[in-house]
A and B are shown apart, each in its own frame.
Chain A
Amino acid sequence: MLLSEEFGASSSTRRRETSRALCAKLTRALNEKISRSADASGAPMAQRLLPFAGVAALLVTWDLAIRLSHTPLLPGPVAVGRAIAELAQKGFLIKHVVASLFRVTWGYLLAVAVGVPFGILLAWYRRGGLALAPLVEIARPISALAWIPLAILWFGVGDLSAVFIIFIASVLPLSVAAMSAVGGVSSVHWNAGRNFGLSASEIARRVLLPAILPRLLVGLRLSLGIAWLVVVAAEMIAVNSGLGFLIIDARNAGNRYDLVVAGMVLIGTIGLALDAAMRSIERLPALRWGYASAAGRAA
């Protein structure tokens, strides 16, 4: 439809006819797809549209709530959409998103490099686990943000502080995930490894690592989610760019709540994308076997 509008107003008849034929073809293809998909899945078309209906309902409620409450400060969905466009136009969108992703990547990867082996060791050496697990349990509830004063003390205000905070936030959940993944390896598999004469390092490489992978991935995904939550918070306080900074700065520097909510929407979307990316890794056939038994509780 858009094509014909664009072309129809100011072009020759030939273009108009071509575009109309194109539209007709598109519409026909669309209709075919809709009817075919309804048949194949057996679910009525209405049911498949429900998710979109839900999102649409949310947007409408949001819009109405803003209008009805006459809040001059909080923006409606349209204003937020425009704010995102504005950010994109001025080049800030990319800049802030990249800054946040950069910090998450570094902090998270460092946490994986330290936390996963640590967790595996804790589970492998019973005494080590007994000794250190309670200490881990005490350190875990300490929000990474409580480390901010120390981070600023050691690293000053800047990227390094933010990366440190993210590292702190992710390293313990990762260790615990690795620990519990090792604990979940069936003793049948351990024994089979020993039965076939494998040395300790061979068992680690050929039995342990593949066996813990599904559960570990779930833990990695959840920790990535935590890291993403924390980067936002870390940026609110310790640095000068990134989505978290955007949110705080937009408010402080002029009550631009449309930018604030735009930041929130971006955060949510990227968080969702990261989660979806990790889930698709979990679905690889080489790993999918682990999901009947692995932490099905992690939604």
Chain B
Amino acid sequence: MTARRRLEAILLPAAAAAVLIAFWHAAVQATGTNVFPSPAAVARGLAELARKGLLVRYTRDSLLRVAAGYGAALAIGIPLGIFLGWRPGPARAANPVIQILRPISPLAWIPVAIVLFGVSDLSAIFLIFLASLFPILVAAMNGVRGVPAMYRDAGRNFGLSGTALLSRVIFPAALPEILAGLRIALGIAWIVVVAAEMIAVNSGLGYLVIDSRNAGKRYDLVVAAMLLIGVVGLLLNVLIQRVSRLRAVRWGFREEGA
């Protein structure tokens, strides 16, 4: 990117953000609301959270839950997906099951989670696991199925078969698609953790959103929490996009920054 474009890429969003904040401030002044917070109030709310140590603690709690649920989904979804993509027989049996379970909102599983695990971290982690599992599973399946026969034949030609063929040819070839699924799953996991925390646990950013309202109509904290959720979610997304840009997988991603 030329220097001017790079400058634009930073200044323009900053300018747009500034305009938005100004508009927000003006709207609050104009409507004279005493409930909805002004930008300044939200900033003060954030400072308050930081002071009380809640900022770090709640963010960390949410992130840990995501790590646990997402990690479990990775550990199960990728091998299972690769297996189903490789063997069409079991895939045909499993496919309708997957298609039926997939549209069930992870949040609809909340009552089941509560019965199985009570109101606890485990409930939230279970929900995150369920929500992340399907995108990862489907991506791994499709990734393996989409590997061009040419690569498979070349691998066999060089004397590879079975696990060697899978690990040296099929898996690397499917990796871009798998990464795309991982990225989607991470986004979903972050959304679900917030939702799960609203209902099933007592800490974390989602809890902060609901509790700030319930425990005293602290809408400044509500909005502060929302902003935090957005920023952390964005950072997670950027992180996984970085992985997709590694040269060993970049070949599979033709458009960037989508």
Contacts and interface: CB of A to CB of B under 8 A. Distances in A.
Interface of A: 47, 50-55, 57-58, 71, 73-74, 127, 130-135, 137-143, 145-150, 152-153, 176, 180, 183-184, 225, 228-230, 232-233, 236-237, 244, 247-248, 250-251, 257, 260-261, 263-264, 267-272, 274-275, 296-297, 299
Contacts of B93: 50-51, 53-54, 57
Contacts of A74: 112, 115
Contact of A297 (B177, B187, B191): B177
A58 B97 contact: yes
B69 interface: no
Contacts of B146: 296
Contact of A146 (B15, B109, B139, B225): B225
Contacts of B230: 138-142
12 contacts: A50-B93, A130-B8, A131-B16, A132-B13, A142-B226, A146-B229, A180-B258, A184-B255, A247-B110, A268-B101, A268-B104, A297-B177
B194 A145 contact: yes
Interface residues of B, number: 69
Contact of B89 (A50, A141, A260): A50
A5 to B, nearest CB: 30
B35 interface: yes
A153 B35 contact: yes
Given A52-B96, A130-B9, 8 more contacts: A54-B93, A55-B100, A138-B230, A145-B194, A149-B212, A150-B222, A233-B195, A268-B101
Given A141-B191, A233-B195, A264-B108, A55 B209 contact: no
A71 B115 contact: yes
A146 B194 contact: yes
Given A127-B8, A145-B194, A297-B142, A272 B92 contact: no
Contacts of A127: 8, 12
A55 B227 CA distance: 43
- Grouping DSSP codes into helix (H, G, I), strand (E, B) and loop, the B interface class, with mixed when no group exceeds half, is helix
Contacts of A137: 234, 237
Contacts of A54: 92-97
B99 A272 contact: yes
B148 to A, nearest CB: 13
A80 B117 CA distance: 21
Contacts of B191: 141, 143
A142 B111 contact: no
Contacts of B8: 127, 130
Contact of B100 (A132, A176, A269): A269
Contacts of B226: 142, 146-147
Interface string B117-153: 0000000000000000000001101100010000000
B17 A135 contact: yes
B20 interface: yes
A299 B138 contact: yes
B96 A131 contact: no
A268 B12 contact: no
Nearest first, the 3 A-B pairs at minimum CB distance are A141-B233, A271-B103, A54-B93
Given A131-B12, A146-B226, A51 B95 contact: yes
Nearest to A233: B107
B206 interface: yes
A260 B35 contact: no
A134 B10 CA distance: 10
A145 B12 CA distance: 29
B70 interface: no
A148 B225 CA distance: 13
Contact of A271 (B9, B104, B195): B104
B87 to A, nearest CB: 12
Nearest to A270: B103
Given A51-B96, A153-B35, A272 B103 contact: yes
A50 B92 contact: yes
B58 interface: no
Contacts of A267: 103-105, 108
A136 B197 CA distance: 24
B52 to A, nearest CB: 20
